[in-house]
Structure 1
Amino acid sequence: MKTIKGPALFLAQFAGDEAPFDSLESIAQWAASLGYKGIQIPSNDTRLFDLETAAESQTYCDEITGMLADKGVAITELSTHLQGQLVAVHPAYDAQFDGFAAPHVRGNPKARQEWAVAQMKLAARASRRLGLRTHASFSGALAWPYFYPWPQRPAGLVEDAFDELARRWKPILDVFDENGVDIGYEIHPGEDLHDGITFEMFLDRVGHHPRANILYDPSHYVLQQLDYLAFLDIYHERIKCFHVKDAEFRPSGKVGVYGGYQNWIDRPGRFRSLGDGQVDFRQIFAKLAQYDFDGWAVLEWECALKHPEQGAAQGAPFIAEHIIRVTDKAFDDFADSGSDRALNARLMGIGGD
């Protein structure tokens, strides 16, 4: 068995224009002061990271890893959540997602999609130069507007959407394979890969590609009432990344899973800071230890109530307390009577006269 690494922090929700959140060096120092040993870097945020330079320059990557090592932290993964989203965008969401792209491709869906694909390939090369084995991203979505079958979907619509999604991602996955890096797709509402079934539909279409894997975040399963512990039993071989995020689901006589168009604070399903929600993290960490997950436990802070700095400060000790230092011996070794084949035979009543 292997011990999970951590605690680590996803920087996307903390990066800003004011110190200490406005540069990688200062935000890393801040994270380390809270007890974090790793950071997941949003590769789209140029205040923190230059993806294109990282893909081309080993010197740049070595300087970053060296600087972070001096602060006492390591990079867990690069994230391309926003770029991955843009690999596949349904036209209904063009305006809302346009801001995720570089300014020169906004308003041009074809150019935006090509830019997103190029970004993903840069991320594969940058990850290799940084010595990373895993990467965090979104799948994007072409079928999401049709997730509820009313009006009745035309025959083959979902199948065609997943065929196209796989067609777009297969060349990207091949580049990640060339660079020795797994993609962990965050299973997330709003993405075509939003539960186990949809992940399997995609996996089938990319030929069970070895680099097509899962970023496990139990909060998204709570909100859609999916069994997040059974998910680990089913998909543990494909789980390569882990977001430690809490959530709660409190339906009423007025509103349930779909949320009634309410804002986050009023929705029955909402994200919470670690320890404030309903996720059974003790069982999650136990199962991940059981299944030899050796990646990082990364806090993704999202909460409608608590201040982010308080959530971050409380998150590091929460994760550290839940990480299981796996044992290298059996608890009943003290009673071991050794190996004796003759004794075994007598105990089973075989052999002899």
Structure 2
Amino acid sequence: MKTLKGPGIFLAQFIGPEAPFNSLDRIAEWAAGLGYAGVQMPTGDSTSFFDLERAADSQDYCDEIAERLAQHGLVITELSTHLQGQLVAVHPAYDEMFDGFAPAEVRGRPKARQEWAVRQLLAAAKASRRLGLTAHATFSGALAWPYLYPWPQRPAGLIEEVFAELGRRWRPILDAFDEAGVDVCYEIHPGEDLHDGATFERFLDEVGGHARANILYDPSHFVLQQLDYLDFIDRYHDRIRAFHVKDAEFRPNGRSGVYGGYQGWLDRPGRFRSPGDGQVDFRAIFSKLAQYDYPGWAVLEWECALKHPEDGAREGAPFIRDHIIRVTDRSFDDFAASGVDADQNRRLLGL
């Protein structure tokens, strides 16, 4: 069995204009001081600390980033292309809203924006290999999300065409990651066409069960969907290659439920919380991941409707560390072993 690696922290929600969040070295010192051992690195955004295209082309640049983090006792857990992955597949209804995820020169030009996003993913494969990483965090994008609830009735073949197109778009990217020796870990997430087990299975069918098509497991998104997040691990553990430690709660009432009534996060029945403040059974999750030899990191993703992010980050490192199970190297009842050999086993069975 394997012991989970951690604690790690996803930097995307913390990068900002004020110290210590405004430079890589300062935020690294801050994260290490809180007890984190790894950082999940956002890419592609002008405010990020990582030049993805440069990293794809330059081993020296990757070595420099790794060394700067190592000076603080940190490593990169995964690179993240959540924003770019979203742009691999965008329904026209969301074009204007998602344009902000892309550089100015491709905004208002959906085809150019998609081509940019694909180039970013291909660069991420090369950069991940240069950094010695084995997993990559991203989104699938979504073409079918406006048609989630079947009213009016969805036309026959619509969803089949959606997943066929997703497969066509992602297959070359998955092949590039395969060449790099890196797993693509799709965060299973509402707003993405890959938002539960059924949709992930559809996608796998379209990419021929591609070995690099894997999962970033975040139980908070399952709580808000009322999906069994423990059974999900039992079903898909062989595809789980990344893990966000994020809590959530779901408290429906007579006014609103899963869909949230277009309310802000503070007033929704389902809302994200800092680890330990919600309803997720993390002890059971960490136990299952240990049982199934999950090979990766436990990474805090802070998103909470109530708590200050710096408090969430401060509490997150010990929370993860205290939940990681150092797996045993022997059976608890070894002391009672009788030393029975094969011949004795046959005698005991009367054979």
Q: Deviations over 1:216-269 (max 9, x none)?
A: 000000000000000000000000000000000000011111111110000000
Q: Specify the SS of the correspondent of 1:214.
A: strand
CA distance in 2: counterparts of 1:347 and 1:251, whole angstroms? 58
Question: Hey, what does 2:84 align to over in structure 1?
Answer: 83
Task: Identify the residue that residue 304 of structure 2 maps to in structure 1.
Answer: 303
2:280 aligned partner: 279
- Percent sequence identity over aligned pairs: 74
Distance 1:203 1:137 in 2: 16
What's the CA shift for 1:23? 1.4
4+ residue runs of structure 1 moved beyond 6 angstroms?
A: none
Farther-moved stretch of structure 1 (79-88 vs 24-33):
24-33
Q: Which residue of 1 is the match for residue 289 of structure 2?
A: 288
Q: Structure 2 counterpart of 1:241, which letter?
A: A
SS of 2:346 mapped into structure 1: helix
In structure 2, the partner of 1:191 is 192
* Farther off after superposition, 93-102 or 339-348: 339-348
Secondary structure in 1 aligned to 2:132? coil
Name the residue aligned to 2:3. Answer: 3
Aligned counterparts, 1:11-50, within 5 A: 11-46=11-46, 47-50=48-51
Would you say how many aligned residue pairs link Structure 1 and Structure 2?
350
In 2, the alpha carbon distance for the partners of 1:102 and 1:210 equals: 31
Partner of 1:174: 175
Deviation at 1:346, TM superposition (A): 2.5
1:341 to partner: Cα distance: 2.4
Instruction: Give the SS at the match of 1:40.
Output: strand
2:136 and 2:275 map into 1 onto residues whose CA distance is 23
Partner of 1:269 in structure 2?
A: 270
In 1, Cα distance between the equivalents of 2:263 and 2:337? Answer: 60
SS at match of 2:71: helix
Counterpart residue type for residue 114 of structure 1: E
Secondary structure (helix, strand or coil) at the match of 2:203 reads helix
- The reply on whether 1:125 has 2:91 as its aligned counterpart is no
Question: Displacement, 1:342?
Answer: 2.9
Aligned to 1:228: 229
Confirm or deny that 1:66 pairs with 2:62: no
Q: Which amino acid aligns with 2:38?
A: G
The equivalent of 1:327 in structure 2 is 328
Pairing of 1:140-179 with structure 2 (within 5 A): 140-179=141-180
Instruction: Report the Cα distance in structure 2 between the residues aligned to 1:253 and 1:97, rounded to whole angstroms.
Output: 33
Q: CA RMSD in A?
A: 0.8
Cα displacement (A) at 1:26: 1.1
Query: d(CA) in 1 for partners of 2:277 and 2:296?
Result: 24
**Partner SS state of residue 13, structure 2:** coil
Q: Is the 8 A contact 2:286 2:325 kept in 1?
A: yes
Q: 1:45: how far off? A: 3.5
Structure 2 distance, partners of 1:341, 1:241, is: 42
Q: CA deviation at 1:349?
A: 2.1
Alpha-carbon distance in structure 2 between the residues aligned to 1:49 and 1:195: 30
Residues 311-353 of structure 1: per-residue CA shift (max 9 Å, x gap): 0000000000000000000001111111322321232122xxx
Distance in 1, matches of 2:67 and 2:60, equals 10
CA shift, 1:105, in A, is 0.4
One-letter code aligned to 2:266: I
CA distance in 2 between counterparts of 1:176 and 1:23 reads 29
Distance in 2 separating the partners of 1:115 and 1:205: 23
SS in 1 for 2:89: coil
Give the match for residue 247 of structure 1: 248
Tell me which moved more, 341-350 or 57-66: 341-350
Give the secondary structure class of the aligned counterpart of 1:97.
helix
Q: What letter is aligned with 2:309?
A: P
Separation in 2 of the partners of 1:187 and 1:261? Answer: 22
Runs (5+) with no aligned partner, structure 1: none
SS at 2:210 equivalent: coil
Q: How far off its partner does 1:58 sit?
A: 0.1
More displaced, 248-257 or 334-343?
Answer: 334-343
Structure 2's unaligned 5+ residue stretches are: none
Q: Deviations over 1:278-306 (max 9, x none)?
A: 00000000000000002000000000100
Find the aligned partners of 1:45 and 1:337 in 2 and give their Cα distance. 62
Cα distance in structure 2, aligned partners of 1:23 and 1:44:
16
**Offset of 1:22 from its aligned partner?**
1.0
CA contact 2:45–2:101 (8 Å) conserved in 1: no
For 1:169 and 1:341, locate their aligned partners in 2 and report how far apart those are by CA, in whole Å: 52
Instruction: Report the secondary structure of 2:233's partner residue.
Output: helix
Partner of 1:200: 201
User: Counterparts of 1:25 and 1:91 in 2: how far apart (Å)?
Assistant: 39
Q: Aligned residue for 1:260?
A: 261
Bigger mean CA deviation after superposition, 12-21 or 45-54: 45-54
Residue of structure 1 equivalent to 2:110? 109
